[in-house]
Amino acid sequence: MSFQSLLAFDLGSSFVDGLSCWAIFILLLVLVVSSALSGLGYPVLGRLSAWLCIFSLSCILVVLLNEASGIRSIYQGLIRNDIFCLGARCITIVSAAFVMFCSLDYIRRDRINSTELTGLMLLSVLSALILIGSNDLLTVYLAVEMQSLCFYVLATFQRSSNFSTESGLKYFVLGAVSSGLLLFGCSLVYGFSGSTNFDDIHRLLLHVDASSAAGGLILGMFFLLVAFMFKLAVVPFHIWVVDVYEGSPTPVTAFFSIVPKLPLLCVCFKLCCYVFLQFNICWRPVFVVCCILSLVVGCLGAFYQRKIKRLMAFSAVVHAGFLVLAIASFAHDSLPALLLYLVIYIWMALVFFGVLLAFRFVATSGRLIYLTELMGLSRVNPLLAVTLVICMFSMAGVPPLAGFFSKMSVFTVAINARYHLTAAAALLISALAAVYYVRLIKIMYFDEPRGLLWLVPVDKSSGWVLVIFTAFVVLFAAFPDYLLVWIDFVCFGAF
């Protein structure tokens, strides 16, 4: 492949990708220049930078929704565009825009440098869009590294906190190890297959089973999957997630919890169920073991937490276990179940972090840190308490809320794949995991507050967003066809 052929620009096939990348890149340049021209001690754009990022993401979403359907490869197969990639990019952009929107009041009240914060978030969204369409190991590595570099800086964004700096440094060191494993896996796969392109490797391994394959190729596959399980915080590669969630500012924690999961799972599913399709006898048992470990460790860890962010970190580990179970099932409906679980999880996380971002005490102007600070919330702000109750019940999988149907879809594909014991164990652990969600509800409604609880009123824009998110969680059971039909349509065009 020559350098000229790699950069050959086909206007018809890469217009949307080029427009998205260049729009974000130009906006990042504007943010950098505006922060450098600060003459009064703060960036020129200031709070407008967040609105500018949200507007740019909205414009890119409109362009993506008007893109013609079909399968196209650009840059000599480095990036692949199909209906599934289009749908995944739309979900990523919408979730990132809503996280930024819910963080506006937090940024304004806590005087966070919004230019740097939103600029780094926007750059990580760009890497996520590239990662979703990646069709080559080199593209995957570059996109993952670009996203990781943004996350390392975002994790240490609370410069006044020594704990934030420590957790960010831990994240950087462990992230460097996972990046090394990813690069080593890419080199092994390339060395034993002669290609880094997903389609070429798939065709090469189509008539090769695990017993006759080279050991180095299988080892490279495991290195790749371990690197992605680290990024997804799957046990036993979850050691970074609790400290990073706690040490990061709340908007960054929300961003970590919501935005990167879908791009990483898209690539992980593509590697397992397309590139290394013939090696499923090797990677499926590993995924099942990691699934059970994630459910057990996440559930037990959440029982002993007293801080809200650490509780949600272990909750994210439990949800990662369910997502891994959907991939390990390796059935024809695994991808729709995975996408349904992800969409509903994103909406539930938006509800929870929307409440967390809107929570502020009048006396100290402080934020919610400990679970005991929720005592008496049902009396002070009943609507906020009801919103949090609906979110907790949905995360616990209580019918008829949306979280019940997402877990039911994963259990269904696991049973269809004859993982009966695994599905039974996951169901039992899911029932036990409901305890720490119910404990949060008990604190809000039945525990007596230690003093007067005065909260800053939630602004109207954040309130309406919470109403919309909560309505989706509640009304999904009444109108499931709209989302399910769209998911089936998107997954039908995958690969």
Give the C-alpha separation, 146 to 134, whole Å: 13
- DSSP 3-state percent helix, strand, coil across the chain (nearest 5): 75, 5, 25
Cβ proximity of 93 and 61 under 8 Å = yes
In angstroms, the CA 450 to CA 430 distance is 32
Peptide bond into 43 cis (omega under 30): no
* CA distance linking residue 165 with residue 156, whole number of Å: 5
Q: Which residues have C-beta within 8 Å of that of residue 436, sequence separation ≥ 6?
A: 299, 302, 303, 305, 311, 315
Three-state secondary-structure class, residue 112: coil
Separation between Cα atoms, residue 323 and residue 294, nearest integer Å: 10
Q: pLDDT truncated to tens, each residue of the chain (495 aa)?
A: 554 444 444 444 444 555 556 666 666 666 666 655 555 455 555 567 778 788 888 888 888 887 756 666 667 777 888 888 888 999 999 999 998 888 887 777 766 666 778 888 888 898 899 899 888 899 999 999 999 998 998 888 877 777 778 888 888 888 899 999 999 999 999 988 888 888 888 888 887 765 666 678 888 889 999 999 999 989 888 888 888 888 888 888 999 999 999 999 999 999 988 888 888 888 889 999 999 999 999 999 888 888 888 989 999 999 999 999 999 888 788 889 999 999 999 999 998 988 888 776 654 555 677 888 888 777 877 888 888 889 889 998 888 888 899 999 999 999 988 888 989 999 998 888 888 888 888 888 887 776 555 566 677 777 788 888 888 888 888 888 888 888 888 887 666
**Six-digit token pair at 237?**
């590669």
* CB-side neighbour CA atoms (13 Å) of 250: 26
Q: How far apart are the C-alpha atoms of 57 and 62, rounded to whole Å?
A: 9
| Contact indicator for 93, 450 with CB cutoff of 8 Å | no
CA gap 124, 97 in Å, rounded: 12
Distance of CA 354 to the CA centre of its chain: 16
pTM, rounded to two decimals: 0.89
The residues pairing with 136 across neighbouring beta strands, listed in sequence order, are 197
Q: Which two tokens stand for residue 291?
A: 């699934």
Spatial distance between the Cα atoms of 226 and 206, rounded to a whole number of angstroms:
23
pLDDT in tens, 383-394: 888 888 898 899
Grouping H, G, I as helix, E, B as strand and the rest as coil, residue 377 is helix
Return d(Cα 68, Cα 84) in angstroms, integer.
13
Q: Is residue 254 a contact partner of residue 349, using CB atoms and an 8 Å limit?
A: yes
Query: What backbone torsions phi and psi does residue 453 show, to the nearest 5 degrees?
Result: -110, 105
What pLDDT does 13 receive?
47
Question: How far apart are alpha carbons 273 and 286 in whole angstroms?
Answer: 14
Of the CA atoms within 13 Å of residue 468, those in its CB half-sphere come to 10
Report CA Rg, the chain: 22
SS3 195: coil
Q: What is the DSSP string of 49-83?
A: HHHHHHHHHHHHHHHHHTSPPS-EEETTTTEEE-H
